[in-house]
Each structure stands twice: as structure tokens, then as C-alpha cells.
Structure 1
Amino acid sequence: MRKRRAAYESSSIWNDTSSPDPIPRLSAHEEKVRAKHGLLSPFDTLPLQEVQNSRKAPRIKHNLVRVLTNPGVHWLTEPRSNFDNFPSYLKEVPSVSEFAFERLTGFVTSSRDSELLKLAKAHGCKFAGSTSSLTGMLSLIYLLMAEERPIDVSTLSTHYQKEPKSFTPGQRMPVSVTLRYKDGIYATDSHVEHMVQLGSTETVLSQLGTVMEKFFTMDFDKFKMAYMKREPVSLKRKEPWQESYRYAMHNQFLMRAQLDCYSNLLPGSGIFDIKTRAAVPVRYDLEKYRANYRILTIQGAWMSFEKEYYDLIRSAFLKYSFQARIGNMDGVLVAYHNTREIFGFQYIPLEEMDQRLYGHSNGQRVFGKCVGLLDVLFTEITKSFPEQSVNCTFETDTKHNLMRVWVEPAEWEGPERPIVRYDVRLRHYIGRKKVSGSEAVGSRTGGWTVAYSIWKNQRPRELILKGRRHAWQAQMRIYKFGLSANERVERKDDVDPSHLDPLADAETAGPPDDVQSLQELEKPSAVSEALASVKSDGEPGGSLDSPKPTKTSARWDSLESESSKEM
């Protein structure tokens, strides 16, 4: 199999070397030297390789374990009978102002995580990152691959069959990161220095997520003693509480995921994540975050759990699913609230998120391709400024199926800081047949190959800078409302900026100057030769796909309302 894979990956299919960017026009030889072409083979679908789990994750409390094994939404208080399905003290959301955040370990960036860097060096990894810094880039890579593939809302009510089936603007926002170089390793941190004039990126919602994560995994009395300001910290607990992490690798990449909770009732690792989802008006207007908006029904266009679930598909499932796979998690437990009151809970398995996103439950097939391309991209962009820390901004233009990556040194003492822009374009094949990105993502079986082209944009420096300013202005639409351009998944920033209005002072932005109809980069005959060793009816070396999934459902009509209360 190794010989076959090596032959497959070394195949050259790039006979047409015409310039992908007609300004300036390059010779065929210059273009061949300038562009990087390669393949992500059907083998790039395997799960991440386990490296280490730091410590055991906590258990869920307050009788919430029932939510994990019973599909659908669980009211905290049954509206018809006014009966509490869970302890009544869960109704009131703990106040952020009364929470002692200093008693937490605090978020540790990738570049400051000594354990992450030590493991990366020990396993020969060149890149290291946490879910908070990686999932934004992985989401943009997915948008490039999927080519506006619609989400699956077939399990929702009639109203949502007519609603948009695309991802929200918040999911499409450009992402900025810093690759911090030290001792042969690039650690990925979120980069927000260009937004520092707007103040802190921490929000009420991200803080609430941290509070409720602890609230749901501790006995009520212990929670109050441990984290409420009015309670003195125990003499036995002078050090901050430590978090639990999973470390896993893919090729040159070592990744870290925070592990929120564990239950032996769940399959696989038993690990799941805790997400807190603020209701619609709260997400759209943080200035009035203590809203009186309440969830009153299971289904419906407004004030319903179904509305929140629909918004989750469009705005959060991508990052939730990527984080779950990095952490080897079974799914996520969602608590729906309005910052003042918790309305109910729902457990969403990873397979269900896959079904809503891709139309099938084999999301590992998609995740493997996204991680593989990120590995390739990091390898290329770090060549521009070797052994230096670099700032990068990623943007996906779904209209033109193009990704742009701006790269510059993080530190520079010269008069003019250099900047490079990489452009990325993909083609997809199932077996030997060329297909659209949407069709490839939606495929359950068959050898899926991704052919990528990465090239340095040759436009003048001032135009490259103008394009990056355009990307930063898109981030400003979030920062205008005090939100983070990079959703810090580990801190539970679940803000959905899908309805944010454009900046009042932003430039009127049309398509970037250099977007034109680009020529195909390969010839059909060359493609056939390169893919000759790939089975047209399955994965090389055996199928890596799961059996045909049974249809999953959100089961809005099967509300769990057992009359059991934790005493």
C-alpha cells in the first residue's frame, strides 16, 4: 500500500502551466516554478493519532446525564405543567459579575503551552495549535472545498424549508493567526493586534460560557464555594483549577482540544463538549444582553428551540464538529439561555452534526481533507519567511472559489515590512471523474481526490495590502459589536454575527481587483494518467467509509419530559 500511495502522490498531472493570475503574464517556465501543485489522496481520511490525554475530564451533574441518552430537547421547566425536570436552582444563570475568574487556570495560547510544544518536538511535528486557533481556518477551508453546498434542514418544520440553507456571514469572516516560531516549531495563536484599538475581545457570552461549564460539572454547593466571589477560596485550593486536554497529531500537526466532560453512557471515548447558546436577540444585540426574550415552543419561526437549532447549523456546527474530532468527542451538550434564564438542554451527537452539514454521517471524510490542506498551506506559507514568526490572514471567496492568505513577518525592523499573498484553488475527483466540490463533500464512498494549486500573487504590494485591508474590514463588522473575529471555541464564544450591519465608515467593497475568470490548471488526459491507480468504486487499499447511515432526526416531536427531579 505504501508503494502504491507513493506512486499516486508523486504523479504529475500539471501539463497546463498557463497563469492562474493574468496580471502579470508569466512564461510557462516561470509559472511552473512559481506555483505549487499537489494532491490530497483518498488516504487522507484517517482519524487523528492519539498522543496524550492530560487528565480525566469531569462528570456532568444536576441529573443532566438524562439529556445524553434521550434525543431531542429537554425543557428545564415543562411549560404546560410548570413541572421542573431538573433542579430548580438551574433556572437562574450564574452572574458573571459574581464569578471569580481569577480562580480559573485561564486560557493558555498554543505558544505558551509548554506541554503542547514538548509533545510536538518529541513527535517530530512542525506545527502546533489549539482548537480555538485552528477551527476558524478549517472552517474557511471547508467553505473553499464545499462550493456553497447547502445545509440539510430536512428534519425541521415546513417554515425552515424556505429559509436560507447557506452559512452565516459570521462563518465566512476572515481569520487572522500568528505562527510563533521557536526551536523548529510554529505554534498557532489567534492574531488580533490590528484590532487592539477596539479594546477587549472578551464578551459577556464568552464569560457566561466559562461560568456555566463549571456550573454544570460541579455540585451546586461546591460550585459556590469554589468560584463565587462572596465565598472564600478553600485553603486546599490555592492553585487555579487545571483543565483537561487531548493531544493528537496529523502528519506535521499536533493539535490540542479542551475536554469539558465525560460520561460512561456515551459510546467511544465518552467525552463530550458543553456549549451555551444565547437566544437570538441576545446574540444580535450585546448592548442589551439581559433580554426578556424567552423560548416558549419546540417548533416555530420565533421563540422556539427549533429556531435556535437552525441557527446553530448555519453558524456553529462546522466549528463544533471540527473541535469534536480534534478532541475525539462524541458530541456536544447545548444549554439554551437568554443570559438570565436557562430554558432547556439538548445533546447533539457528532453524526447528527455531520448529517446537517454534509448530508451524510461520514464527516471524518471531510475533516481529513480539511486538515490535510491546512498542513500543506502551513508548509508553503512558512517558506516565505523561514524560521520567523509570521502573521497570517485567511479569507475564502466562495463566489470565485478562491482562498487568499496574506503573510508577513510578525517582527520587522526595516523601513517597509514585506508581505506575500498566496492564492489557493481546488479541483475534486471521485475515482477518475471530475466533480464539483459540493458533490465531493456530499459523497459517502468512492476515492475522493483533491487537486490543489497554491501560488504567490504577483500583484504590486499596494494592491496586496488593499486586499488585506478589505479582509480586516470584514472582521471589523464583528469587532464593532465587541465580538472576537476568531471564535475562541475553548472559551465558549458562541456569538452568531449573522445579522451584523456593515461598518458605517467602511469602504464600499466590491470584488477584489484581481478576481477574474481563471483558467483550468490541468488537462483531462493528464488527470486520467494521475488517477490511474485509484479505484473508481472505492478507497484505495480498502474502504474507509462508514456503512450507509440511518436517517437521523432532531426529533422535535419527541420532547423528553419525564417527571424526575434530583433530590
Structure 2
Amino acid sequence: MLSRRLLLHARQSRNAPVCLFCAVHGRAFWTPDRPYSSASSQPAKKQKPKSDGEPERHSKKNDDVETTGKAGLGRKQKQRIRQKREAVRDSVKKSQVSPRERPSRKKRSETKTLKEALLGKPPQEGKAKPKRTRRKKQDGAEQKLHIEVISADDLDFQPVDVTIPPIPMLSYGLDRVLFNPGVYRLQDPRSRVYNFDPYLEKIMAVSEFNFGALTEYKTSSKDEDLLALTRRLGTKFTGSTSSMSGVLQHFHYMLSNFRELNHDMLSRSFPGRSSRFSKITLGPNAIFLRWKDGQYAIDADKSYDKPNIMSWLGHSLEKLLTTDRDEFERYRRSNPERAPSEDSSARCYHYSRLGNFLMRSQLDAHDPRLPGSGVFDLKTRAVVSIRMDHKEYETGSGYQLRYDRGEWESFEREFYDMTRATMLKYSLQVRMGRMDGIFVAYHNIERIFGFQYFSLPDLDHVLHGQTDTCLGDQEFKLSVRLLDELLQRATQQFPETTLRLHFEARSGDTPFMYIFAEPVTEERADEIQNSNQAAHRAFERDIVGVDRDDPEMQKEWHDIQDRVDEEVDEDEMEEAHGNEGHSNVRHDKESSEIESDDTPAEASNPDQETTKASTKAADGPLMGWTLAVRNMVNGQYVPRPTDLEPGDSWTIEYHIKEITPDSRRGLYSKLTKRRRDLIGEDTEKESTRIDAYRQLIRRYSERGRKWRNEQDKIDEEIGQQVFRPLGPGAEVAVQPRMSEAAKP
């Protein structure tokens, strides 16, 4: 604005008493009636006019000036002034940026300042010029962008009717947890009364559990029943909740414009809270799209998976929570009785369809009193000490959950970490399986501390800021529809072959998503998936024992796409300079230290063989796209939908743009490096970075083990008391006793 004002002053008529350009440069300037000097506010002395016959005198001071008599200035001096004024106009015009050419956050600092515009100061050395993306011209006009519009109301999420075997129910009276909000402790710390059978407290070691008696989990590409159902229904893509939830998380980031987490339920005294997802949760995600005779099956990319005791323990705890004591003891290796065997028919699944997708969801437990299907998921949540150092889990197994609230040794801490790491994935799995919620058991590998049930409205309250599930339901349908569109493009580019795809949502002024697809052979896919198979086998052996054309819309979408292109340009420049400046999250202790999940992919450190297997085909065929969306609620454009109600209309506009071939490989390499740095970080480097934090956790673990030993001694002395109703109407009624103080 200031530069515009200077230009207006510089363009004033000859009656203007001041020229700002000359004032800045300290030059002489004039008006029709009197000349001025910028060094003084007094008028310059008038020269005595010369007669026509008097010869003109020259001096060293003005021998290059050809005077004009009337104004006292030579033509050359006037010409210099005009040239300077024109230079100022050109500089100011160049410094003014139209809205469509508005630079992004990093580029705004590289535009010329007013002083640079006036003085012509060159840009600083070492700074690369912003790389601008030029839109292609078509017959002298801008090429129209192909804008698609989707309404969530037009998408139908349909259940597929199949025969389902009986679904297990919770044992030991744990169903009380389903109907009581908040944490349900296994033992009341004040009265020392057990709310449930004390048998639940001590966990059977994984080395003692007979995992061979359980049915092996089948990935989507190996599930023949799933593939047959996919062919029968005529759908093109199929996947499981575990293989799809990681990718769908990135659509949530983009559609919600990286909505912050709602932590209103945390106590005010809880320190250092962050409303952002953890770094690993926000990191790139990869899948394999396996070609299966006309259909494609989605498998999660396991190239960075490492053996993890938490995933094995999850299987045994699931059996513990859904069987009685006698049956569960038959799974103990030392038990002479044969363990109950399972077959594939014992697995219970919900199948659901949306567009070209068929989704499979395993059903863990059921209670007919819950709303809807009554089905819910079982989740086991290891404490922070185990998640932070799963390789040396014995050192963290002394960590206790003693308090309701607080920074350490509290259920509040575990809930907070879960919101930032796994709650979004849990909510997506609940929706894919048409479930009511999740049942969480908190443990430290050795003991179970308590239980908590999160209904879908509870999950949405944290993730979407509202308990009405309509917002999360519609976002889920839109996400699957967008994923469908992207997979269609990838399979059209590389038909009838297995693909490896990477997805990453990027934050910024205009959030967008990177999508890359590369064809791989089945042998190559198996090589990547099995790159850590030796480590898994060693762990099992040693530990376990096993289109729109509206001109206004086009203009706005050109602006949106330009901003996306500028973000892509920034990523390219950072790649050229070896610089990782753009990140979805800032590096802080919270995001780098408490982000692990109970799944192997979130607590892994690959070896060099994994890295080689992931990058061997670096020069093969590759396709890449960017995806940008714009939200509209009830006819109004919004950054993100908030407080959505069932009667509201939510539609999205989206544009998919192919990344140019010369930029594709560099951006893809940069994305895979970000993924490798997050979940494939070198063990020594990672240990050094958070060593102080781990030492703190270990001190809590050592202190907690001493405290637990003291509590066990007290229980041995006074005996264990288990809750049972005692008042009127109970099975065993107890007459009230008069207290000693009330006796006469």
C-alpha cells in the first residue's frame, strides 16, 4: 500500500511542490515556479537570465547540463529525472503481486521491500528464486480445470448380507463397563476391593500361551472367501480395516483442514498438552494394491514392521476377555488338556460396500443391549513405558497406573496419548465394521489395571469436536469415495498389475495430498513385505514360542491449484537444497516421544536390508498426483465443517492434478525419505534422541515395581475381596450392622 502511495505522489502533475523520488535520493527537483533541493526546504537561488547574445559559460560543476533558460535545468538532467521516475514505476509494478500470484508463507519473505523497489537492491545471494508454476495456455486462454463435486448424501454405505457365526461376549462381568462412562478400575485403590475377578489382573506370559491353537490372520490378498465375495458382488477393490485405516487417516487430515484434537475433557492441571496428532500418525502411509484376476486387494505395506510383543499379547488378551477361566487355561502350554482349536469358520466378519469398495471387518465382541449392531472392537493399550521401548519391555513392565489424572502413572496420560496416536484409526475401523465402539484394556504386559468403553460419539467428540456422528459418518464416506477415484486412476495408468502406493496429506495455506503409484511384480512385492521376516521368525522362536466450467469457480480453483503448485515447488526447492523445511508438525518432545501404538508398524526400526528392498526400483515407472478439495456446507464455502447436523448438506469440490514427469521422482523420493525417517529411523540415532526421556520412564518403572510388591504383600495379609451386591434385593442379602459409635 505504501509503494502505491509513493507511485501516486510520483505521478502528480507539475503543480505538485514535492517529488518523493528525489527526496529519497537527495536529488534536486523543481516545480514550474521554483526549483527545490532535497537537502533544504528553502527554494534554490534563481540564476540570472542571460541575453541572447551573451555567450554561455560552462563550469566543471555543470558542464554536462544544457540549460533551458526558463526552468534553470538542462535537458539531460530532466531526462535523467524522467528515467528515474519510470524506473520507480516499473519496480513498484513488479513488486505488486496479484491475488492469484500470491506467494506462500515461505515465498512472501522473498518479495522486494519498498526500499529494494526504490533503490533497486538485488536479492540476497544464496537464495534461490521462487519457482513459479505456469499454467498451460490453450488457444490463448487458461486451460480449464476439471473440477468434480461430491455430496456425502449421494454416497451409500451398504451392509453385505452374509451368514455370521456367533460373536463372542465379554466374560467375568466385564459387560458392566459398557454402560458406565469413564475408567472402570480392576481394583479400587482405596478399599482394595476388586470390581472383577482377580484372575484378570495377572497376564499370562506370551511364552506360556499356545498361539498355535489360534487361527492365523489372513491379509486381504490371501483371503479366498473375501476375493470370491468381491467377484460375486462385482466390486473392483477390497480391503480390511487394518489395511485401509492408515490411508484413510490422510483423507481426514485434508478434509478437516488438519482439525485440532478436542481435549476439553482433560484436567486443567494436565501439563504440556498438544492438540496435534503425533508425527508418526501424520507421516506418509503406504499400501500394496494386489492384482487378483480382475480384482485388487489392499494389503498394508509392512516393509518397516518389526517383531512386537504388544501385537502378540493382543491376541491372547482377546481370548482372556471373551472366555471363562477354565477354557482360557487350556491355552497354557503347560496344561495337559488340549487347547480349543479354531478354524476359519470361527472368524466373524462384517462386510460392507461403498462404490467400488468391499470392506472386511473382524468382529471381536457383541452385546445385544448396545445400540445398532451391538458389535464392538477389543483393544489392548500398553502403558507408555512399554510403547516407548518395546524391545526391552521388561525394563518398563514395572510402570503402574495408580491415579485417575496427572502427567505420569495415570489413566488420563494413557487416554491423552491414545488420542494423538491411535484414536483416529480406531474410529475408522469402527465405522468400516459398523460397530458401536471400542473396549480398551489398559496393561503393562504383566498386569491389567482397568477398562474403558468408548462409544463412537465419544471418539467423535475428540476427533471432530462433536458427539453427533453425522460429521464423522459423512467424512468417512467422502474419504472412501476419493480413495476409489485415486485407485481408479492408478489402475488405468498401470492396468492389471500389482501397485505400490504412497499417500501423504500436507498442511499449509491450502492443504493437499500427494499420491504416488508404481507398478511392482508379485515377487518384488513379496520381497518388500518379507524384508523383516527373519526378525519376526526369531522373535516368535525366542519370545513367543510362534466437471465444472463456471468462470468464477474456475478462477477460484485456479487460485487453489496455484497455491498447491507453489507448495509443490517449495518441496522441490527443498529437495534441491537438501533441506526438509516443510513439515506437517513442528519437532517437539511430545510429537517425537509418545507416538507408539500397540501395532508393529508404529514402533519399528528397519535394518539396511529393508531400506535396500524399498529403493531397489527407484528408476522404474512412476505416476504421481496432487489432490486438493474445497468444502461447502449449506451452500457456503468453509475451511472445514463444524457442528454439522443431520439436516445439513456437505459437498466437496476436488481437483486431481498429475505431477509433471520432471518433478515426480524427486518428490516421491522426498516422501519415502520422510516415511523412512519416521518409522524406519536408525536405532542408535533414535535411542540417543530420546535417551533422557526413557531414563525418566525407567525411574517411574523401578519405583512402580517396588510399590506393587508392597501392595501384593498387603493383599496376601488381608486377603482379596471381590465386589458383589450385598444390599436388599441382592442374591446374598446382608443385614446392616450398627457402628460401634452408635451402640448404646
Asked if TM exceeds 0.5, the reply is yes
Q: Secondary structure at the match of 1:43?
A: helix
Could you say if the C-alpha distance between residues 373 and 307 of structure 1 is closer, same or farther in structure 2, counting changes exceeding 3 Å?
Answer: same
1:424 to 619, 622, 627: 627
C-alpha deviation, 1:94, in angstroms? 1.7
Measured in 2, the distance between the counterparts of 1:42 and 1:354 equals 18
Q: Secondary structure at the match of 1:409?
A: strand
> Whose helix fraction is larger, Structure 1's or Structure 2's?
2
Report the residue type matching 1:370 in the other structure.
Answer: S
C-alpha deviation, 1:201, in angstroms? 2.8
Measured in 2, the distance between the counterparts of 1:235 and 1:86 equals 25
C-alpha deviation, 1:232, in angstroms? 4.8
- Is the 2:350–2:361 Cα contact (8 Å) retained in structure 1? yes
Measured in 2, the distance between the counterparts of 1:562 and 1:157 equals 30
- 2:659 corresponds in structure 1 to 457
- With 35-44 and 339-348 compared, the bigger mean Cα shift is at 35-44
Q: Secondary structure at the match of 2:629?
A: strand
Could you say if the C-alpha distance between residues 416 and 478 of structure 1 is closer, same or farther in structure 2, counting changes exceeding 3 Å?
Answer: closer
- 1:333 corresponds in structure 2 to 439
Higher relative contact order (CA 8 A, sep 6+): 1
- 2:314 corresponds in structure 1 to 209
How is 1:310-325 mapped onto 2 (pairs within 5 angstroms)? 310-325=416-431
- 1:258 corresponds in structure 2 to 362
C-alpha deviation, 1:34, in angstroms? 10
C-alpha deviation, 1:30, in angstroms? 12
Could you say if the C-alpha distance between residues 376 and 415 of structure 1 is closer, same or farther in structure 2, counting changes exceeding 3 Å?
Answer: closer
C-alpha deviation, 1:222, in angstroms? 0.6
Could you say if the C-alpha distance between residues 462 and 151 of structure 1 is closer, same or farther in structure 2, counting changes exceeding 3 Å?
Answer: closer
How is 1:143-182 mapped onto 2 (pairs within 5 angstroms)? 143-160=253-270, 163-182=273-292
Say whether residues 1:469 and 2:672 are aligned partners. yes
- 2:177 corresponds in structure 1 to 67
- 1:375 corresponds in structure 2 to 484
Q: Secondary structure at the match of 1:293?
A: coil
Could you say if the C-alpha distance between residues 464 and 86 of structure 1 is closer, same or farther in structure 2, counting changes exceeding 3 Å?
Answer: same
Report the residue type matching 2:672 in the other structure.
Answer: R
Q: Which runs of 5+ in 2 are unaligned?
A: 1-99, 105-130, 525-616, 692-720, 726-730, 733-744
TM-score, normalised to structure 1, is 0.76
Measured in 1, the distance between the counterparts of 2:420 and 2:263 equals 10
- Is the 2:267–2:405 Cα contact (8 Å) retained in structure 1? yes
1:355 to 456, 461, 468: 461
- 2:449 corresponds in structure 1 to 343
Could you say if the C-alpha distance between residues 217 and 33 of structure 1 is closer, same or farther in structure 2, counting changes exceeding 3 Å?
Answer: farther
Q: Secondary structure at the match of 1:96?
A: coil
- Is the 2:165–2:346 Cα contact (8 Å) retained in structure 1? no
Aligned CA RMSD, in angstroms, stands at 3.3
- 2:165 corresponds in structure 1 to 55
Measured in 2, the distance between the counterparts of 1:176 and 1:34 equals 32
How is 1:6-21 mapped onto 2 (pairs within 5 angstroms)? none
C-alpha deviation, 1:48, in angstroms? 3.6
1:269 to 362, 373, 378: 373
- 1:219 corresponds in structure 2 to 324
- Is the 2:365–2:377 Cα contact (8 Å) retained in structure 1? yes
Could you say if the C-alpha distance between residues 173 and 238 of structure 1 is closer, same or farther in structure 2, counting changes exceeding 3 Å?
Answer: closer
Could you say if the C-alpha distance between residues 376 and 346 of structure 1 is closer, same or farther in structure 2, counting changes exceeding 3 Å?
Answer: same
Could you say if the C-alpha distance between residues 133 and 146 of structure 1 is closer, same or farther in structure 2, counting changes exceeding 3 Å?
Answer: same
- 1:537 corresponds in structure 2 to none
Q: Secondary structure at the match of 2:380?
A: strand
- 1:103 corresponds in structure 2 to 213
Q: Deviations over 1:464-522 (max 9, x none)?
A: 442243243244347859x9xxxxxxxxxxxxx9x979xxxxxxxxxxxxxxxxxxxxx
Measured in 2, the distance between the counterparts of 1:29 and 1:351 equals 53
How is 1:375-414 mapped onto 2 (pairs within 5 angstroms)? 375-399=484-508, 401-411=511-521
Instruction: Give the fraction of aligned pairs with identical amino acids, expressed as a percent.
Output: 33
Q: Which runs of 5+ in 1 are unaligned?
A: 1-15, 484-496, 502-560
Look at both structures and tell me which one has the larger radius of gyration over its CA atoms. 2
- Is the 1:407–1:420 Cα contact (8 Å) retained in structure 2? yes
- Is the 2:284–2:671 Cα contact (8 Å) retained in structure 1? no
Report the residue type matching 2:208 in the other structure.
Answer: E
How is 1:121-200 mapped onto 2 (pairs within 5 angstroms)? 121-160=231-270, 163-193=273-303, 195=304
- 1:120 corresponds in structure 2 to 230
Report the residue type matching 2:723 in the other structure.
Answer: S
Report the residue type matching 1:376 in the other structure.
Answer: E
C-alpha deviation, 1:242, in angstroms? 3.1
C-alpha deviation, 1:85, in angstroms? 0.9
Measured in 1, the distance between the counterparts of 2:328 and 2:284 equals 38
C-alpha deviation, 1:407, in angstroms? 0.6
